[in-house]
Structures are given as structure tokens and as C-alpha cells.
Amino acid sequence: MTVAAAIIGSGNIGTDLMFKIKRLSDVLHVAAMAGIDESSEGLARARRMGIGTTHEGVDGLLTMPEFGQVEIVFDATSAAAHRRNYDLVRQHGKTMVDLTPAAIGPYVVPPVNLDTHLAADNINMVTCGGQATVPIVAAVSAVTPVAYAEIVASIASKSAGPGTRANIDEFTETTSAAIETVGGAERGKAVIVLNPADPPLVMRDTVFCLVQEADQAAIRASVEAMVAEVQQYVPGYRLKQAVQYDAVEHAFVPSLGRPFQGTKVSVFLEVNGAGHYLPEYAGNLDIMTSAALRAAERLISKRAEEVAS
């Protein structure tokens, strides 16, 4: 028997998540989807799949008969909307998996810190850039302290819907904070680029880490091991080339507020989507929905373990 889930948000992310759960999960099933546009493609597809729907947002979801059976609620709306969604849903004892940059709950990046937050009633999946790059910062931090980490996430403009565009500021703030609190960097910075190229290019991410002690073999092994972990749930995630190392001689780093001498570690990534609903170039959306599904399934398995014990 699978556990019932609900999705708030019938846009690209919510719809892709619905398809992923349908195709990949033997733990969850989608019982309800809530949107605010009655004519949205996501709601139409949900209805054709036999899923209960409402176009009255979270308010409509709370009145649906299916909601009583739901244990996990995915929020694929916006940072602003999530605050109210969470306030309402938590009153019913449901666990929320937040795919917006609202960051009300703890930041969660599955291969780094998921098991630390399994008791939370709201976990935040950071951002697409965070899911792609924070594991790499954490991999470097596991070997040597990272004084500063900067990530640049480049995504196809066509894969950035209204929700993504409305959350650009929250993206940079949330990702920068996660680089520090989850990735382990002393200071972090995030940049997002909407690439207008046509045909669209897949998601590409660059991670720069400044470290004073660089055991190159150990860093490379840690990064490659982390990439393999992410690939378990995002098969299209990969290194574009070998980890690069460059000496830094007394360079002033504004974000640190002081000169730095050591080594710059550079990691170049590419993320192809699985094509379950969205095009393969939309790896930025695919890594978010994949991470959210991974986290929800682990939450469910942890509860089953507790009941069994």
C-alpha cells in the first residue's frame, strides 16, 4: 500500500512531480492536486490520470475528501504563497515538502543532511541551483575547510516559468544561505543566469571553492563520490570535466572582507532532465522534483521503521 500525497501548484514543477511519482515511486501516490487556474494543463492532466483536483488553491484542497488520507503535501507554488499554505496545512498534521525558496523549514539536500531533518513538519528543498551545487561544496568541505564558495547556475530561459522568475531574489538568498549552512562554507554566494539560447541548453552549474589546504586527490575522490550519490536519484547529473585547481596569491575577496591565499577548486556540472514531463533541457526543474521525491520517500520509510520498532 502506498502513502497518499497532495501537490499544491499545477505548473511545470508540480506537474513534473506528479508524473515522477506516478512512474517512479512504489511508496507514494498522488491523491490530489491543487492549482489556481481552472484551465491549467497540469490540472487537466491530473484529472485524466484520475487524480482529484481543485482550482481553488490550498483552500480548495483542505475541503477535498482526498485530503483526509494525505500524509505528505508538496508545495510547488511560490515563496510568498508557501507561507500561507504551510500555516493552513500544518493545522491538519500533514508534513510539507517545500519546493519553493521560502525556507520556513530546514534546508534539505538529500545526500548531505536529509536524515538530520526527518522529524520536521516542513522541509525546504532549497533551489535547483542549491540541489545541484551544495552537494559539491559539502564534498569539498568534508576534506578541507572552505573559506568561500560561489556557484553559478545557468538554466534555459524556456525552463524558467512564472514561478521561477518571480522567485529570483529568493533563489539567490536561499541558495547562498544553504551553501553556508548545509555546504559548510564560511561564506557563500549564488548567481543564476537565464540562458536565452535557442535551441535551449541543459542546466550547467559551476562551483568555485577557496580552500587553504588542498589535498587534490582527496578532494577529487570526495567530489566524485558525491556525484555518484546524486546520480542515484538524478541520473542526468554529471561532471563536465575533471576537478580543476588554481593557486590564489593574496587575492582580496570582497565577500570575506580580507585577502586570501590558497587554492581555488573549480567543479563544472551538467544536469539533464529525465524527460518524464518536461524537456530534457529542463534539468533545473528535474533535480528539484527528483530531490523532493527522494526526501518524501525517506520520510515515509523512516515513519515505517519507527512503527515497526
- Euclidean distance between CA atoms 178 and 191, whole angstroms: 13
* 166 is known to lie in a ligand binding site: yes
* 185 is known to lie in a ligand binding site: no
* 110 is known to lie in a ligand binding site: no
Q: Which of 128, 146, 287, 300 is catalytic?
A: 128
Q: What 3-state class would DSSP assign to 192?
A: strand
* 167 is known to lie in a ligand binding site: yes
205 has which bridge partners? 153, 269
* 161 is known to lie in a ligand binding site: yes
* 163 is known to lie in a ligand binding site: yes
* 164 is known to lie in a ligand binding site: yes
Residue 209 annotated in active site: no
* 197 is known to lie in a ligand binding site: no
* 162 is known to lie in a ligand binding site: yes
- Euclidean distance between CA atoms 145 and 168, whole angstroms: 29
* 290 is known to lie in a ligand binding site: no
CB atoms within 10 A of CB 38: 12
* 165 is known to lie in a ligand binding site: yes
Burial class of residue 239 (count of CB atoms within 10 Å of its CB; 0-12, 13-18, 19+): middle
CB atoms within 10 A of CB 16: 24
The per-residue DSSP string of 268-308 comes to EEEE----SSS-TT-HHHHHHHHHHHHHHHHHHHHHHHHHH
Phi, psi of 103 (to 5 degrees): 60, 40
| Residue numbering of the annotated binding site | 10-13, 159-167, 284
| Residue numbering of the annotated binding site for NAD(+) | 10-13, 159-167, 284
Q: Which of the residues are catalytic?
A: 128
